[in-house]
Amino acid sequence: MDILGDIKRDHNNVKALFREFEGLGVNAKATRLKLARKIMEELVAHDEAEEQTLYGRLKERVRESDARIKLFEAYTEHTMASDLISKLQKSESVDEEFTAMFQVLRENVEHHIKEEEGNVHKIAKDVFDKEELEELAPQFEEAKKRVTAKR
């Protein structure tokens, strides 16, 4: 599998975790908080690894203005998610404010996934050959492990 397949797998996993969170009753506060923390940890590892392995290389190679704008938009979406996660991680309970912010995080992540899989992945396929995309996959997975280990 190449890096784009690994990224898409992560996207599918986090979407399933968000659906699981939504399926929990509002009174399952401890379970919701635990699952929310897991989702946030997954997102942080994914985003940082993606920036280290794919986005940085794309930034070096992409010259066309529209493609660069799409790439910087994806970076910005990562930053917005990171900012929300920082606020959410300070919370000790799943109250109304937490639930609202977590819903905004979910909406932003789902939008990002759609845009990334539609735009950034196409750019990557145009810029990298099949072998390069395959070589990036283990680097992406290793970067996620490093990010997770330092947290």
Instruction: Count how many domains the chain has.
Output: 1
Where in the sequence is the domain holding 98, given as residue range(s)?
Answer: 3-149
pLDDT at 43 over 90: yes
**Residue 28, helix vs strand vs coil:** coil
Residue 63's φ and ψ, nearest 5 degrees, are -115, -25
What is the average pLDDT score of the chain? 95
pLDDT at residue 11 in the model: 98
pLDDT at 6 over 90: yes
Residue that the structure tokens 């998610």 belong to: 81
pLDDT at 151 over 80: no
Is pLDDT larger for residue 103 or for residue 26?
103
Q: Which of 150, 151, 147 is nearest to 10 (CA)?
A: 147
